[in-house]
Chain A
Amino acid sequence: MEAVKSLFEERKELFNNAIQMMPNKRTPMYSNFWTWKILDSEYTLREALYNYDIMEKVVCDFHNRYQFDAYADLGTRNPMRVSDAFGVGFHKIDDKYEAIVVDDHKLMERDEYKEFINDQLKFNWEKTFARYAPNLTIKQLQNAAMEFAAFGQYSQKITTKFLMEYQVPLLPSSPASMPLEFFFSLYRGIKELSIDLRKCKVDLIEAMNAVYKTTTEPLTRSTLSSDTSSAFCDTACYFLGHSILSEKQFEELYWIYFSQCLNDVMAKNKTMFIFCESTLKRFADFFKDIPKGVLMIHLEQDNILEMHKELPNICFMGGMTSDLLGNGTKQQCVDFTKKLIDELGEGYVFSTNKMMSFRNDCRRENLLAVTDFVRNYKH
């Protein structure tokens, strides 16, 4: 007699079968809902983001309403209380438009790559942090440290609740960020890094080699050696900075590091989840020879049906558009969901094609209709 599986085991099996492209009981569902879930609640962005009890209620109500199998965000994306405690921050709440806006910024100058390489912690303290919070007092630092600890407690509490009580597999911890991402998102910003690619590529490569050795490689290897059984994949990687690269630049500045991480993943017979912001299509050739059962890629702006034809060896996630969820009828949304599941088949995880953030990204009745359909549909 077969033992009764727990809900957690069922969900893990759904993701595992999808990445291995094996027949599944149904298609797994992954929530790519961010601040939209606050707008779907009775609270404002400001109320939820500044009160962890309210945020917990928002996130739990969202799960109870839609019952996704895994989540990109559990209310930990915008820790406004921490950055506010420093008296700074690049994120601001726009109450009128119900949005969080972020400024492109730089915390490092073009001629500072060598300083960065010499001692990253020294550089972070003397340069980047000094620019981030130039007027910081000891008292503010102490308060910010307490806020950081409180944020950590919320994060731990909500993660444990989803794992133990709701039996939801978690996102893989400690994503293997590729070296370019540090300069794209943290130090140089989108505009400045785009210019660095032409003006000081050698310095950038030296700095990326340093980041790979000090951070990317050891973090990837330690994650792959750790217990990953609570997550739906063994490790994760977020592609953001690739969006400003040509194919040649991708090979030279991104793939060279990513392929080493991927080799580590395959050598240990593990799996990797990739969230791919923007598009991946122009780099599809790089992924053609990767064996089935290794990668699960969440696509954003690509046509997922075309990508599936081009890369049948990859398990894709995404597909449902915010345009349809926000403006279509329930029937249109369900019809498109059925098309996605029927055409993408076994190696597919249902999700949305963008980080759902704005009120018009989705209507509650449409999301209820599609999540109910996916839970009950067997292709």
Chain B
Amino acid sequence: MDDQKVSFTYPDGFIQAANSLEFLPDEESRKQFLGILVTSLLIM
């Protein structure tokens, strides 16, 4: 799983990637965090 490449399909790949962020409690918060991360990264 760790070496698995991220799938850049939407929404399936996005949801799968979000759900790998297990330090967050649920799917909704993980999707929200990943959305912010992706957007922020483009700004950085």
Contacts and interface: CB of A to CB of B under 8 A. Distances in A.
Contact of B23 (A82, A141, A146): A146
Contacts of A165: none
Nearest to A149: B23
A271 to B, nearest CB: 24
Nearest to B13: A125
B38 A124 contact: yes
Contacts, number: 79
A148 B37 contact: yes
A144 B17 CA distance: 12
A56 B19 CA distance: 33
B20 A132 contact: no
Contacts of A187: 42
Given A136-B6, A138-B4, A148 B40 contact: yes
A39 B38 CA distance: 31
A89 B42 CA distance: 9
Contact of A129 (B3, B20, B22, B41): B41
B13 A145 contact: no
A121 B4 contact: no
B43 A185 contact: yes
A137 B3 contact: yes
A129 B38 contact: yes
Given A138-B1, A138-B17, A125 B41 contact: no
Interface string A95-125: 0000000000001000000000001011011
Given A121-B35, A137-B4, A137-B5, A132 B10 contact: no
A319 B13 CA distance: 50
A79 interface: yes
Contact of A130 (B8, B20, B34): B8
A141 B6 CA distance: 8
Nearest to A90: B44
Nearest to B10: A122
Contact of B20 (A91, A119, A142, A186): A142
A119 B35 CA distance: 13
A167 interface: no
B43 A186 contact: yes
Given A138-B17, A145-B21, A124 B39 contact: yes
Contacts of A159: none
A83 B5 contact: no
Contacts of B34: 145
Given A135-B5, A138-B1, A146-B23, A125 B38 contact: yes
A186 B40 CA distance: 10
A83 B37 CA distance: 11
Q: In the complex, which of the residues B8, B23, B43, B44 has the most CB atoms of chain A within 10 Å of its own CB atom?
A: B44
A126 interface: yes
Nearest to A78: B44
A332 to B, nearest CB: 38
A132 B42 CA distance: 8
A128 interface: yes
A94 to B, nearest CB: 18
Contacts of A137: 2-6
Given A82-B44, A132-B42, A141-B20, 15 more contacts: A78-B44, A107-B42, A125-B13, A125-B14, A125-B38, A137-B2, A137-B6, A138-B17, A138-B20, A139-B2, A141-B17, A146-B23, A148-B41, A149-B23, A186-B42
A-B pairs with the 4 shortest C-beta distances? A130-B8, A139-B2, A122-B10, A136-B6
Interface of B: 1-6, 8-11, 13-14, 17, 20-23, 33-35, 37-44
15 contacts: A78-B44, A107-B42, A122-B11, A124-B38, A125-B10, A126-B8, A129-B8, A129-B41, A129-B42, A137-B2, A138-B1, A138-B5, A138-B20, A141-B21, A145-B33
